Amino acid sequence: MKLQSIKGMNDITPVNSGAWKIAENLLIKILDGYGYQQIRLPIMEKTAVFERSIGDVTDIVQKEMYTFEDRNGDSLTLRPEGTAGCVRAILQHGLLNQQNRKFWYIGPMFRHERPQKGRYRQFHQIGVEVFDLEGPDIDSELIMMTAKMWEVLELTDLRLEINTLGTVENRKKYSRELFNYFSSHREKLDADSINRLERNPMRILDSKNPALRELIDEAPRLDQCLDADSQRHFDKLCEILSKANIAFSVNPHLVRGLDYYSNTVFEWVTDRLGAQGTVCAGGRYDGLVELLGGKPTCAVGFAMGLERLIELCAQRLNRENRDAPDIYIISTREDHVAEVMLYAESIRNVAPDWRVICHCGGGSIKSQLRKADRSEAALAIIFGEQEFTDGTVTIKPLRNQAKQFTIEQSKSIAALKSFIR
Ligand code: ATP
Ligand code: MG
């Protein structure tokens, strides 16, 4: 039987890897441009890092983590998200003391979910975390930066939804109100929501069960429990976004899956991906740093799912991905391999941007030329019997009617420059 990859963990083959590379490069350029610094984190952490931060009532900790014991009996977990590990690293290395406290990361995340379109067991995120800035200015910067990302990816159909969760106290009050409301409709709840009712009734609002839609729509709203500071923070954020011409809608039921959020939350959503329509989600998590053992430090961040995002623009990016070689080098004499390989290196040295393929594996000139042509290379460079004797090469344009010509090896590279880009 042929070996298969693990269900929900996908290979990204050259069919799509070009689109991934372009998208990642565009996004990273923006992060760099806004002055954010990359942090590279391990793919595994001690399980406690996630249990303590993500909270044991979330789907992630309750049923989605890949947790196992290593050979020493330590409990380790493949990271289901990037924030917890990032905060752990920031504290471990004292990075809260440095001037720049804006970070980004990229990489695979692991969740044991039911695989379906847009929902995988290994998926990729780009995430951002910013520490120790408490105003709505930084919240709006993150949202404006993501809007810029959609612009460079030419995605025009993403909607922004925002909400505020207020402070921990606001939420406690709201939680009680929700508890009363949902308890009085207990018979309409599904098993999942009954479980959430006892532990964290706000998470019922996050339910994806369409049967609960109406009940959730009529639930009390958090804005009635907001204190004045939280309200001001939110109003200011809305004002900045409006001035920046970023359209948004306030969704009072947007609560996010994780427990450590406070004040601003936001999601970018599309209708083009069916049920898995959220491509980017973020918000404030002012309580988390303290929870993981640091001094009380506010924080805000987001994470975007690259599979969902790239699905939206893969076709166009694949068309843009130019991976045809510029030069395809072929030769007739196997006893002169070294000369050919060194010639190829000399081209790469003077023109590092060119794509230079050395035909390996021999064969007749005819079959090598056929391969050169199929590679869609602009030029073939041919080392034939005569060329080896004379110290020349023959340059054969493959994409137009221009005539082939033979030229001294030492002069050939300058001649190539007039052909390529
Ligand atoms: P969902 O409500 O879709 O389960 P979530 O609230 O669990 O999402 P976050 O933890 O906020 O998601 O992750 C941020 C983003 O990462 C999501 O908006 C989505 O784009 C992406 N993402 C999350 N889980 C998956 C997954 N299993 N497969 C693919 N992408 C995912
Ligand atoms: Mg989820």
Closest Cα to residue 78, out of 115, 116, 37, 41? 41
Q: Which residues line ligand 1 (CB under 6 A)?
A: 81, 111, 113, 118-120, 123, 125, 257, 276, 278-281, 303-305, 307-308
Tell me, yes or no, if the two domains 14-167+227-318 and 324-416 fold the same way: no
- Ligand 1 atom closest to 119 (CA): 28
CA of 2 to the centre of ligand 2 (A): 31
Tokens encoding 393: 């090469």
- Ligand 1 atom closest to 282 (CA): 11
Report the DSSP pairing between strands 379-383 and 327-331.
parallel
- Ligand 1 atom closest to 81 (CA): 10
Best residue among 125, 142, 251, 256 to mutate for probing ligand 1, ranked by most atoms within 8 Å of CB: 125
pLDDT of residue 341: 95
Count of positions (residues) in the chain: 421
Hey, which residues does 301 pair with through a beta bridge?
129, 283
pLDDT in tens, 194-233: 988 888 888 888 888 899 989 999 999 888 889 999 999 9
- Structure pTM? 0.90
> What phi and psi values does residue 228 have, to the nearest 5 degrees?
-65, -40
CA of 258 to the centre of ligand 2 (A): 9
pLDDT of residue 335: 87
pLDDT of residue 254: 87
Q: Where are the domains of the chain?
A: 14-167+227-318, 324-416
pLDDT of residue 259: 62
DSSP 348-408: HHH-TTS-EEE--S---HHHHHHHHHHTT-SEEEEE-HHHHHHTEEEEEESSSSPPPEEEE
Q: Which ligand is nearest to the CA of 283?
A: 1
CA of 75 to the centre of ligand 1 (A): 24
Distance CA 43, CA 51 (A): 16
Q: From first to last of its 421 residues, what are the pLDDT tens digits of the chain? A: 899 999 999 999 999 999 999 999 999 999 999 999 999 999 999 999 998 887 766 777 778 999 999 999 999 999 999 999 999 999 999 999 999 999 999 999 999 999 999 999 999 999 999 999 999 999 999 999 999 999 999 999 999 999 999 988 888 889 899 999 999 999 999 998 998 888 888 888 888 889 998 999 999 988 888 999 999 999 999 999 999 999 999 998 888 656 677 899 999 999 999 888 999 999 999 888 998 899 999 999 999 999 999 999 998 998 888 789 999 999 998 888 999 999 999 999 999 999 999 999 999 999 999 999 999 999 999 999 999 999 999 999 999 888 999 999 999 988 888 777 6
pLDDT of residue 56: 60
Distance CA 72, CA 253 (A): 44
Q: Which ligand is nearest to the CA of 114?
A: 1
> Is residue 319 within 8 Å of 154, Cβ to Cβ?
no
Q: Whose CA is nearest to atom 25 of ligand 1?
A: 119
CATH topology of domain 324-416: Rossmann fold (3.40.50)
CA of 257 to the centre of ligand 2 (A): 7
Select the CATH number that applies to the domain covering 14-167+227-318 from these four: 3.30.930.10, 3.90.550.10, 1.20.1370.20, 3.60.20.10.
Answer: 3.30.930.10
Strand order of the β-sheet with 44-46 is 44-46, 75-78, 66-69
